[in-house]
Structure 1
Amino acid sequence: MGPRQPLESNTTITFNAPNPAVSYGGIDPVIEENLQLVEPVSEYGLRGTSLSSDKMVDSRWERHFSPISRAIGQDTTSHYVHPTSQSNSNNLLTLPSELIDTIFSYLTPIELATASAVCHVLRTHAISDLHWQRHVLSNLPGHKISSPYPCDSWRELYATHDPYWFLTRQKLWFCDRELTGQLIIVRYDERRGCIEGYQLLATRAREGSEPWIADRGVHIHYFEPRVKLHLDKPILQFNARRLGWDNPSAPVESTSAPSDTYRRLSSEYPMRMAGSDPRTSNFLLTKPLTDFRFNDSNLLFPYGYVWPPPAIPARHRLTGKPAGIHHFSSTIGSVGGGRRGGRSSSEEEEEPALRRSEISDRTFQIRQWMEMGPPHIGVHLGEEIVSYSTLDPILYTPTPEKPWRGLWVGDYSGHGCEFLLINQPDGVDEDQTPLVRGEDETEASFQARFLRERVHRGRLEAIKLTGDPNVPRGEYTFVADDLGENGFVGVAQDPPFLGTRVVKSKGHIAAMGFFDDKYMESQLLLLSHNRLAQYWVSFGHISFYERVNIDQFLVPK
């Protein structure tokens, strides 16, 4: 594979102070030099063995994905209805109102807006809140609001937050900031008509460890996570009134004028956020990379700064910006002028607005900086561009056959809690036919056969959505190659794991700055569909992982 590419960013390094409440029965991983004593289970980890370049581009997921989601709103080279014969038009207009509404229920928001420009009769149907309420609610999974407040109609509300509804529809976003990253939940607050994104955090409610009865040299670390949103500091925020809906009596056209539409589809849009963050933040719509493939030149960290990295299946990817290398810049004029990378107006002209068909509904970026001096001639300090991506729901939605899929939080000792995606990819040779209970088969026998033939099989991957200075975001933290017989170790005979299935796994470790990474011997304990444990053999300790229900954070309280 060759040597790892050096980091180009000035990454902030945090050192871990020893935690006296936590102990290890084997090699202490807190001491950096001890990692050299751990025997790797494969020479190059998993990049050159278990993953081929084809799997890196997520070929197994392509059948579920379309190039660009239709829900973002399609545009074409023309924004008017092509002339049709008078008879065809009359045929549509002679239909009962119920049938016209049924036909219009299949139209996208852009198509509804186009139909409203044809004639007065079609406009009456196209602007009906019957359709616009459905489009608003389709972008708010898990949160069915009852009012378009602060707008007067559902159509006004949709137009006000267009084209940002994809943020709430995807709800879960993770980023490439530093080595640690961030995980945010984007939701809608109907009390203020606000789309807002907050960082998801987790803390331990209990510290310490105890020896394992089966092996007194192995220490079990206590783990009772508390997961919450950091509500004091929004990461992104779009308020209905600040987006242009300033006058309750103003018609909807005031929020969808050509100049306003162009402004919102421009490369950058300033966010005016309420909170304690003194930084200026601009929101950037992005285009997905086209015809992109991971190959030998970008299979090494940091993967050409492509986000998300190859371990995470994704519909869309984009090229991120390494932190800490932006030019010391000053910007003349508006901070929302569409300039990228911290360059001044003399270095780069304003970028044109994006077409709707070009916008990714799976990625975006946020540009942040400190403004020193008056806004018109201020100097940008600490400027960074952070790239965000989302996960397809199929990756984190458990099924009877793939019960461990989901968003999880894990215990990483001195690094604290970190969020993971547990992915159970569909195997190429897996039998997908439904299992049928035999006529003479008891329910208990059928369930045992279902576990054996449909559940305890295939690969399980734990991928960090947030990371630490040793193993960063976007990397595997552990992998079990086979949950079936080929990976079966045994069934635990002692508490607290009595009756638990144990399989072989590989734990990912590295030195500070993600150098000299390797995979060590470990074992995965399948405690339940909502809780796992990982036995790090050489370290002599067992850590826990718990499922996180993100839907509990979608409704503001």
Structure 2
Amino acid sequence: MTDNTNGPDYGYASTSSPTPLSFLGLLELPTELIDTILSYLTPLELVQLSLTWRELFVAHNQYWFLTKYKLWFCDRSLAGQIILARYDGRRGCIEGYQLLATRSRDGSEPWIADPTVHVHYFEPTVKLHLDKPILQFNVDSLENLMRISLSSRETATRPARRFFPEHPMRYSHGADPRFSTFVLAKPLDERDLADHMDEWFPYGLVWPPPTIPAAHRVLGHPADIAGGPTHELISSPRWRPIDRSEVSNLTFRVRQWIELGPPTVGFHIGEEIVTYSTIDPYFYTPTPERPWRGIWVGDYSVHGCEFLLINQPDVQEEGYQEPLVKLESESDEEFHARFLAKKVHRGRLEAIKLTGDPNVPRGEYTFLAEDLGEDGFVGIAQGPPFQGARIVESQGHIAGAGFTNDKYIKSQLILISHDRLAQYWVNFGHISFFERVDIDQFLVPS
């Protein structure tokens, strides 16, 4: 289990769509320009400006972390789910939608280098499922209007900004039969984590699992693994925050059900509690030395497309390492080759499922390459479609239905580019592809 709280803290500043005349609104300006503009205002003008944003802040003050970290994945069943959270400035709404991917083309063709091996076509289409939000917080919802009204009448004897650990969500899609609540989570302390975390799947139902670097972990409760939902997760002070200081901004839960009969007097069916966690952008933001870090989509044959985190852990250096500088005697090509050898083609590459399937579930490694350098080097591809690509040894993770009898088998990772990889499953005789996903393209509502 790896925790890392020292990575950079990347936020997301939402923007509204440009006007027909392409004028920039205030929220579309870079944050440093907004700071500069505000520095010219008098104290009275700053107070007046703050009143303009007061209702929006009161309505969403407990949800802004959703858009800050933007990407969330969950423990629902073995397949899981990944959603992107974004802010729609036009409607004053925070929403979270499921990220989906489909193959545009099926089939395969023989590999020229070995006709007994089949190379599967992979042209994925990635999109948001906009017809069915998972999260939705409208600034004009009844709950928010009541909260704003209460806040405006606060006195010295009534604390301001009351804390609500569970929040109803009213979806704007009238045909949606679900009832849902958004539940804030309390992270496990070290003692609780040690008591609950198991060595093997499902890891004591701790979420996220140990494969994912995380500063906060909580107890999950996937119904198909642990039985029916438990209200202890959302009712016990041990797992539910009692004030803002206990709230995790890296995890949350969604409780949802279908209600038969009139609201409040009917009964629930199909109730489930789903636990979500995010990933520090440090671990999926590529760098010149760790260029394959990112969120990827992969081809899993009959299981369809699945999303992955490709993590390249930092390589521990012994002592201070001088940055590579081009030598006077080197050409650009020679320096590039030396940079690849010393800084890029080394260390471990981990492909971790953010969504899974009935065989290998979410949160598990799908393949590993122990060393991208000389210790793992297989060769350079000599023919199409991988001409010139570096090939390294890897291990592919397979299992029976229900994640039974899992094991790692021999495979090879083909480093086609920083945005596209191929995995040669040697024993199966086929090659599948993986592509980087640009999640930022989905964060600004159209």
Q: Is TM (by shorter chain) over 0.5?
A: yes
Match of 1:426 in 2: 314
Instruction: Tell me whether 1:261 sits opposite 2:166 in the alignment.
Output: no
- Pair 1:553-2:442 in alignment: yes
- Which residue does 1:64 correspond to in 2? 7
Q: Determine the structure 1 residue equivalent to 2:103.
A: 204
Confirm whether residue 127 of structure 1 aligns to residue 47 of structure 2: yes
Query: Which aligned pairs between 1:345-360 and structure 2 lie closer than 5 A?
Result: 354-360=242-248
| Correspondence 1:2-81 to 2 at 5 A | 56-58=1-3, 61-64=4-7
Q: Aligned partner of 1:493: which letter? A: Q
Give 2:280's aligned residue. 392
CA gap of 1:243–1:340, structure 2 versus 1, over 3 A, is farther
Instruction: Determine whether 1:157 maps to 2:56.
Output: yes
Q: 1:287 to 1:126 in 2, by over 3 A?
A: farther
Q: Does 1:374 align with 2:262?
A: yes
Provide the rounded CA distance (Å) in 2 between the counterparts of 1:391 and 1:156.
30
Residue identity in the other structure for 1:403 = P
Instruction: Kindly state the Cα deviation for residue 295 of structure 1 after the two structures are TM-superposed.
Output: 8.6
1:239 to 138, 142, 147: 138
Matched residue type, 1:361: N
Q: Secondary structure at the match of 1:448?
A: helix
What is the match of residue 301 of structure 2? 413
Q: Residues 188-227 of structure 1: matches in 2 within 5 Å?
A: 188-227=87-126
Q: 1:210 and 1:255 mapped to 2: Cα distance?
A: 70
Alignment pair present for 1:445 and 2:445 = no
Taking only aligned residues, the RMSD between alpha carbons, in angstroms, comes to 3.1
1:516 aligns with 2:415: no
Measured at CA, do residues 272 and 260 of structure 1 come closer, stay the same or move farther in structure 2, by a change above 3 Å? farther
Contact 2:285 2:294 in 1 (8 A): yes
Inter-partner Cα distance in structure 1 for 2:274 and 2:98: 14
Alignment check: 8 A CA contact 1:407 1:548 kept: yes
In structure 2, what is the equivalent of residue 534 of structure 1?
A: 423
Question: SS at 2:99's partner residue?
Answer: strand
Separation (CA, whole Å) in 2 of partners of 1:498 and 1:319: 47
What TM-score results when the alignment is normalised by the length of structure 1?
0.69
Deviations 1:351-410 (A, max 9, x none): 986321211110000001111222222211111110000010101100000000000000
Deviation at 1:541, TM superposition (A): 0.2
Consecutive unaligned residues of structure 1, counting only runs of 5 or more, are 1-55, 72-100, 106-120, 133-151, 330-338
- Secondary structure at the counterpart of residue 63 of structure 1: coil
Identity fraction in percent: 60
Bigger Cα Rg: 1
Structure 2: gaps of 5 or more residues: 13-34
Q: Aligned in 2, Cα 1:352/1:540: closer, same or farther, shift over 3 Å? A: closer
Alpha carbons 1:308, 1:317 under 8 Å: kept: yes
Q: Is the 8 A contact 1:159 1:256 kept in 2?
A: no
Query: What letter corresponds to residue 230 of structure 1 in structure 2?
Result: H
Secondary structure, counterpart of 2:96 in structure 1: strand
Q: In 2 relative to 1, CA 321–447 (structure 1 residues): closer, same or farther, beyond 3 Å?
A: same
Across the two proteins, how many residue pairs are aligned to each other?
413
Q: Of 267, 271, 291, which aligns to 2:169?
A: 271
| 1:195–1:237 contact (8 Å) kept in structure 2 | yes
CA distance in 1, matches of 2:154, 2:96: 24
Q: CA deviation at 1:328?
A: 8.9
Give, in whole Å, the separation in 1 of the partners of 2:248 and 2:211: 20
Contact 1:467/1:473, CA 8 A, preserved across alignment: yes
Q: Normalising by structure 2, what TM-score?
A: 0.85
| Superposition deviation, residue 274 in structure 1 | 1.8
**Cα distance in 2 for residues equivalent to 1:525 and 1:297:** 35
* Residue among 340, 355, 371 paired with 1:466: 355
Deviations 1:292-317 (A, max 9, x none): 55699611000000000000001111
CA distance in 2, matches of 1:244, 1:449: 60
